[in-house]
Structure 1
């Protein structure tokens, strides 16, 4: 039997041969061709000299599950919003600064954001700082919202809870002293504060430089009342300043010379 794939081309070849060849030789050529085809087909059916060509049924593909260079870097969020963390817990791993550290958070050298205080994670934006940046922060109470208002009270260390401070009661100091007597009863007398000699009526307060003295205007008024005359200061009077410096240097040199003469052996 002829293979179905070979029949059409063979028929076309035989018809072309029959047309070109004379009438006497047409039969011989056709008989020889069909005889040879019958012999070849019988050999193929018996398995002698058969050559098979295998065509791929599927397209060759690369290895999909091939082992890579190494494991993945496991980037992304490690803690979700309002999840409790302790200091050192990694909140977000990233390449680059997609997220920035906010309140009670810090960033490592590989851009990893981790918690510095115990609390709850918050993802937020802060338009006052930077309208395009995204921040990750940690708060100490779950219902707290970030970002905090400007100039708001903040908690950052020791996990301390902010409470209203109680104002201590101020005790008014009185200079009244109670003195008792059997006949007259209790009598209140004013106590006299002791003042240093020569400082009567002075109001000494601690000034910059840790000095107890009056203010400059009080010293000036006291000098006016005592009629103390002071030479008027002339700014930029370099001639007077040079004369004073020259006299001071001459006196110092004279003192040094006297000291040498006294200490000498001559």
Structure 2
């Protein structure tokens, strides 16, 4: 709707005395004079006001919700394998002890423990690392030449020139026991025995101390089971055998179907 643009009706009324009555035919002339118009320009200016609010979002992101980046676990918080510790774009943080990268550069835990945010100048002078410590009072990074703890409470120990992982409760290193006034150095090379007292020798890879594992690993040997040696690479012979087997199965199926009586199809009758 177009409305006349009247700027100062109050000012016009102030200039006119209240005792003076203006005829109805002179009201427009008084308003024009008050607003700066003369009788030579009787046209009035009109202003178009918006009748509806313009469309569009005043607040909020234009590209949808945020990506929820940042720290998901704080320092010292307990995590389990698979927990995401930090989400990021790029490599502001790097995975440290018992952590790995995800495909979107997120860092997640590989073991149960407590989160640590730290730096390791010996590995890189400027990088920031996120790791998982097994104990609440442990600090990262670990000493450079110290024994590294692994999952399942294991420590790497050299035995006979081969590095194996042994339970921490069995490791006694650098201690000296006194027996009858003589110093005897302790070690972890004591033989392992089963319930019957039989000595169990360690396998090639440095494990299989348990009697159940020992029995399972030698079940075929004690039963004199002989397995035919597999000869790899003879694919042509395998293809011939497979082809002959398929042809034989098709022949058997054809003979079975020939022995069965098949029903004759009904004659089609034309409807009038």
TM-score in same-fold range (> 0.5):
no
Q: If the TM-score is normalised by the length of the shorter chain, which range does it land in?
A: 0.3 to 0.5
Q: Which has the higher helix share?
A: 1
Structure with larger Rg = 1
Normalising by structure 2, we get a TM-score of: 0.42
